[in-house]
Amino acid sequence: MFWRVLFFVACLLAGGSAGWFAALRSGIAATEWEGLAVGILFGGLVWFLIDWSRASRVLRWLRAGDVSEVAISTGLWGEVSARTRRLVLGRERQLRDSQNRLQDFLLAFQASPNGVMLLDAQGSIEWFNETAATHFGLDAQRDMLQHIGNLVREPGFVRYFAGHDYRDELLMPGRENTSARPVRLSVHLYPYGRGRLLLLSRDVTALEQADAMRRDFVANVSHEIRTPLTVLSGFVETLQTCALTEPERERYLALMAQQADRMQILVSDLLTLSRLEGSPPPGLSDWIAVPALMQQIEQDARALSAALNPAAQRVHALVFDYQAGGEIAGAGNELFSAMSNLVGNAIRYTPAGGDIVVRWLPLSDGRAEFSVTDTGPGIAPEHLPRLTERFYRVDHSRSRDTGGTGLGLAIVKHVAQRHGAELGIQSTPGKGSVFSIIFPAGRCRAQQLPAIS
Ligand code: ADP
């Protein structure tokens, strides 16, 4: 300001003194005082023109809006443009910062495994992430700013949205829901700000399926236990109330023992399954000799075949085919349980006299295949995908009659998975079945390595 006043005064002084001397020298009919006054006026005019041109430059600069450089660097107008520039740059930085922060928030919402949608006070969609787009079948280009009620027409959701009571979540079918592939969503609306709504959606299909499986499982177990229990308590009542002959008593007691055995096998299979699910997979450090395993399985198999066919002339023709020296890394008790389950099934479902071949075959790529081939009734193709489900049975009565629990193949599947192996089932109705477990190369070796001394 000081320099501005100084420049103004200097202009007046310069103009005044120029007017004074001009009047003095020219000798025209004006006095020095008139020359001084005209000079001062002229000086003021010059100052005004210079100032006006500087102000115009600042104004043009402001209008152009390009603040990369100042319009003028000196004087009052210089300071005005410098301060304006600093202010604008500061605001631009603030705007950039808040835009970046908004982008970060949106990216975080985008990364969320849940669907996120923002609705304005009228219920129009302001923003949604990709998961929400998948859940509700939305398109980011087409559906932004549309009213949610026009896009999500599921009656349950329409009622929930219109009801304005958002304390609880809503369970509804997802956009891609079909009877073959159900999709269930949990949707929850949360009011925020001035009448706005945050919508969170979660795919709960797997959770609901697990819940249904758990319910089915409990129902199945209860049913399986209730049947022998009912029989048992019936016999107990008979023993308590009726006068029985000794042979009758013995027959009843034998039947009771049979039912108790059935329950025991069921509980033992259930415990095996829960142990398999709850423990870490077997490591690669314990090597089990295949011949010893096969001998043990063979012993049990021959005993089972004889026990199931006490009156038969011929039991099953059992062939065990394996070479000496094979080893497998894993849990011995699990492998025994899985393999003897397959052999047991072949014996239980193949009528007496049928052929059963149990084979351990090292494959050329280092893997090894355990297989059980029988000449039993075979299994129709529609049952094959469900055979490893718990309590799934093709032939209920034969399964029960031979002490089956419906859990055998579920155990086999678990053991195979835990050993990185594949369970294969091939079957032709009327001809027989082949159940195989192919173990990975990393778990098989041909001969025991010599110990390092
Ligand atoms: P279960 O204890 O009833 O044998 P599994 O899980 O071992 O239960 O087997 C499931 C069903 O698969 C059996 O109920 C039976 O119907 C069928 N199955 C299993 N193995 C054979 C086989 N070798 N031959 C024919 N059917 C079989």
Domain ranges in the chain are 2-96, 112-203, 207-279, 281-445
Residue 320 bridge partners (DSSP): 358
Asked whether 44 and 12 are in contact (CB, 8 A), the reply is: yes
Q: Whose CA is nearest to atom 19 of ligand 1?
A: 345
Residue 269: CB atoms within 10 A of its CB come to: 21
Q: Whose CA is nearest to atom 3 of ligand 1?
A: 406
Q: Whose CA is nearest to atom 10 of ligand 1?
A: 393
Task: Give the whole-angstrom CA distance, residue 377 versus residue 265.
Answer: 24
Q: Whose CA is nearest to atom 20 of ligand 1?
A: 345
Q: Ligand 1 centre from 394 Cα, in Å?
A: 7
Residue 413: partners with Cβ closer than 8 Å, 6 or more residues away: 388, 423
- Within 6 A (CB) of ligand 1 lie 345-346, 349, 374, 376-377, 379, 387, 392-395, 399, 404-410, 433
Whether 281-445 and 207-279 are alike in CATH topology: the answer is: no
Residue 380: what pLDDT?
95
Atom of ligand 1 nearest to the CA of 376: 24
Q: Ligand 1 centre from 393 Cα, in Å?
A: 6
pLDDT along the chain (453 residues), means of 10: 88 91 76 87 94 93 89 88 93 96 92 94 95 93 93 94 94 87 94 95 94 92 91 92 90 92 92 92 94 96 89 84 92 96 95 94 95 96 94 85 89 97 96 97 79 55
Task: Give the whole-angstrom CA distance, residue 256 versus residue 230.
Answer: 11
Burial 121-156 (b: 16+ CB within 10 A, else e): eebebeebbebbbbbbebeeeebeeeebeeebebee
CATH topology assigned to domain 281-445: Heat Shock Protein 90 (3.30.565)
Structure tokens at 215: 């319910």
Residue whose C-alpha is closest to residue 406's, from 395, 390, 394:
390
Residue 321 bridge partners (DSSP): 359
Q: Which of 348, 383, 384, 409 best tests ligand 1's pocket when mutated (most atoms within 8 Å of CB)?
A: 409
Q: How many CA atoms lie within 13 A of 12 on its CB side?
A: 6
Residue 58: what pLDDT?
92
CATH homologous superfamily of 112-203: PAS domain (3.30.450.20)
Residue 332: what pLDDT?
95
Helices (H), 281-372: 290-308, 332-349
φ, ψ of residue 210 in degrees (nearest 5): -65, -40
Atom of ligand 1 nearest to the CA of 346: 23
| Stretch (H or E) spanning 257 | helix 246-278
Asked whether 268 and 407 are in contact (CB, 8 A), the reply is: no
Dihedral angle, C-alpha 267, 271, 273, 274, nearest 10 °:
130
C-alpha distances (whole Å) from 417 to each of 330, 358, 411 are 12, 21, 10
Q: Which of 387, 400, 407, 433 best tests ligand 1's pocket when mutated (most atoms within 8 Å of CB)?
A: 387
Asked whether 263 and 229 are in contact (CB, 8 A), the reply is: yes
Residue 68: what pLDDT?
86
Atom of ligand 1 nearest to the CA of 350: 24
Atom of ligand 1 nearest to the CA of 404: 2
Atom of ligand 1 nearest to the CA of 392: 10
Q: Whose CA is nearest to atom 13 of ligand 1?
A: 393
Q: Whose CA is nearest to atom 14 of ligand 1?
A: 393
Architecture of domain 207-279: Orthogonal Bundle (1.10)
Residue 25: what pLDDT?
82
Asked whether 117 and 145 are in contact (CB, 8 A), the reply is: no
Residue 449: what pLDDT?
54
- Angle, CA of 280, 283 and 285, to the nearest 5°: 155
Atom of ligand 1 nearest to the CA of 432: 24
